Every structure is written in structure tokens, then in C-alpha cells.
Amino acid sequence: IANRREGIGVCGWILVSLSFLLVLITFPISIWACIKVIREYERAVVFRLGCIMSKKAKGPGLVLILPCTDTFIKVDLRTVTCNIPPQEILTKDTNTAQVNGVVYYRINGAVSAVANVTDVHSATFLLAQTTLRNVLGTQSLAQLLAGHEEIAHNIQVNL
């Protein structure tokens, strides 16, 4: 993403030009396949010949996708909730406790979510589970029972 000096090359520009020409020749029909609607809560990350077109995601609104050369991935920017199932942890004072949780998150950078992680939702879920275990494992049972807000703050800082 950081280095875009290579571009798509001469052959890439020829393919893009041919694709654009194909859209112009078959204009009334092809325009319906080329224009995509991106809703207010979505962004589209557009790939041209396998490379991300720009550092910013497209949308909301209408986005032009050239056939054969462009692909796109829609990213939902709404807040997502996921339940962390009950799991047993070992506290600092060697007591066992069964804990669960709920995580609320939303994607801020659509391009980073597509380019850096295979599945952003499962990665966030697994990171939340691991962070919950790690933070609660450093607390004693008395601290777990008394300091809910401090523990929640520590988990939020770690995530």
C-alpha cells in the first residue's frame, strides 16, 4: 500500500484501456454491470489488476468497476458485537474462575482491514479472547470481583 511507484505498467494500461473501450462499445447494457451502489455504512476497496487502486476506500455512493480488470470488496463499517463464550481461567492466586464477555468493535480503516488481515472478524474475536484471558490471569480473585471497571479499561487498552 505504501509504495505505489510501480503502477500497473504498460500492459496493465492496455488492459484497462481495452476494458474501458468494451464498456463504451456495449454502453447501455454494460453500465448496469459496471456501476455498484455502496451504502452509507459501507466502503468499497477496489483492486485493479490485483493491486489496490488508492489508499482510501470508495463510497458511499456509486462506484465504477471496469469489467475484467477491477474487483472490489465491500467492508461494513457498522458496530459488530460478538460474545466471548464462557471459559475457565486461572487467576494470579491460583483460583479458577469462569468468565465470559461481549466485544463491540467497528472497522475504522477499510483498506487496512482488507489488505492486512484475511478475516478481520475472526481475528478480532480471537484477539479479544486472548486479551481477556491474559488480563484476567494477572489479577487475583478479589481483584476480579472488585475491579470490573479497571479490568474493562485494561482490556480496552490492550485491544
Domain assignment present for residue 2? The answer is no
Q: Work out the mean pLDDT of the chain and round it to a whole number.
A: 87
- Which candidate, 77, 79, 80, 81, places its Cα nearest to that of 41? 77
Task: Assign residue 137 the CATH number of its domain.
Answer: 3.30.479.30
Q: Are residues 33 and 52 in the same domain?
A: yes
Mean pLDDT along residues 45-59: 89
Between strands 80-90 and 96-105, the pairing is antiparallel
Helix (H) or strand (E) holding 80: strand 80-90
**Digit-coded pLDDT (tens) for 64-100:** 999 889 899 999 999 999 998 998 888 888 888 888 8
pLDDT, greater one: 80 or 150: 80
pLDDT, greater one: 47 or 155: 47
Domain's final residue, options 76, 105, 122: 76
User: What is the CA 94 to chain-centroid distance, rounded?
Assistant: 37
Domain assignment present for residue 1? The answer is no
Domain's final residue, options 45, 76, 107: 76
**Digit-coded pLDDT (tens) for 17-43:** 998 998 889 888 888 889 999 999 999
Print burial letters for 10-25: b (CB count within 10 Å at least 16), e (below 16): eebeebbeebeebbee
Q: Are residues 88 and 148 in the same domain?
A: yes
Range of the domain at 143: 80-158
- Does the structure show a pLDDT above 50 at 5? no
pTM of the predicted structure, to 2 decimals: 0.75
